[in-house]
Amino acid sequence: MTEHLSAIPNVMTIAGSDSGGGAGIQADIKAISATGSYASSAITALTAQNTQGVSGIVAVAPDFVQQQLDAVFSDINIAAVKIGMLADSHVIEAVASKLREYRPNIVVLDPVMVATSGDLLLEPSAIASLKSELLPLATVITPNLPEAAALLGCAVPTNQAEMDALIDELRKLDTQAVLLKGGHLEQETHSTDLLITADSVERLTAERVATSNTHGTGCTLSSALASYLAQGQSLSQAVASAKAYITDALKQADSLAVGQGHGPVQHFFALHKQSETQG
C-alpha cells in the first residue's frame, strides 16, 4: 500500500540570475530546496558575475517577465513568492501587476537596492515604484541596513542604537512587517535582526560567524523565510527558522572552495553532514 505523503509546497522566486551561483535565482532555488519546498522561478535580469564582482547586467524585458509569471501561476499552485533583484521601475510595475492579478497569499520582498560597494542598484524613481507598487503587497520585507536607509532616505546606521532608531520610521512604510537585518554592524560580536510589526518588535540574535564566504546571504535568508512560511509556520517561527538556517549555512561556508573572492554560503550543509555520517 502506498503511503500518503503531504504535498511539498511550491515557492516561486522572482529575481536576477547570478552566473557564479552564489546569489540571486541560483541561491534562492538552493535555499528553497534545502529547506523543504519546491522552487520555481521568474528571471528579471541576467548578470555576468563571480565571487569577485559583477561585470555586466542585462535586464529582462518586462513583458517577458510577465510571460514567465503567467506560465508559472497558471499551472502551479504557488504557496509563497520571494522577490529579489528587480532591474528598474518597468520591471517593478510588471511584477506588481501580476501579483495583484494572481494574489499569492505570501510575498517575501528582499529589496535589493544597494551593492556591497554602497552604490545604489536602483534609480530613485525605481525605489519610489518599489515603495508604492510592491511594499503594499508584501507579507514581510527583509532590508539590510543600507537598504533600509535607502527606503527611508536616511543615513546608514553604524551601531545598534542607530538601528533601533529606525523602528518607528519603518513602521510607517506601507507594508505588513519588516525584518531589519543587522549583519552590516560588523563590529558587534553578535548579529541581531529585528522583526518589526505594527505592535511588536522581536529581536533575533545569533553569534557572528567568522567567514569571508558571505555572498548571497540576503537572498538565502529571504528564500528560506518564504519556504518556511509556505510550510505553514507563523511569521515569528519562520523568521527564527530562516535565521537558524542561514547561521548554519555560514558556519559551513568554508567547506566550499568556490572562487577567489567572497564565496557563497553552504546551502546544503545538512545533506553534506548526512553524507559524512553515512560515509
User: Is 219 among the catalytic positions?
Assistant: yes
Annotation marks residue 35 as catalytic: no
Q: What would the grid cell of residue 200 be?
A: 511588536
Question: Distance between CA 245 and CA 169 in Å, rounded?
Answer: 29
Catalytic site includes residue 259: no
- Choose, from 21, 139, 219, 263, the residue flagged as catalytic: 219
| Residue type for position 13 | T
Q: Which residues of 91-127 are buried (b: 16+ CB within 10 A; e: fewer)?
A: bbbbbbebbeeeebebbbbbbbbbeeeeeebbeeebb
**Three cell numbers written together for 255:** 567547506
And the C-alpha cell for 7? 504535498
Give the C-alpha separation, 219 to 83, whole Å: 9
Q: Which one of 82, 98, 131, 181 is the catalytic residue? A: 181
Spot the catalytic one: 35, 47, 139, 214.
Answer: 214
Determine the 3-state secondary structure of 59 from DSSP. Answer: strand
Residue in 16, 182, 183, 216 annotated catalytic:
216
Active site residue 214: yes
Is 218 catalytic? The answer is yes
| Residue 261 appears among annotated catalytic residues | no
Q: Are strands 53-59 and 38-50 parallel, antiparallel or unpaired?
A: antiparallel
Catalytic residue among 218, 220, 243, 247: 218
Among residues 142, 217, 220, 247, which one is catalytic?
Answer: 217
Could you list the active site residues?
Answer: 181, 214, 216-219
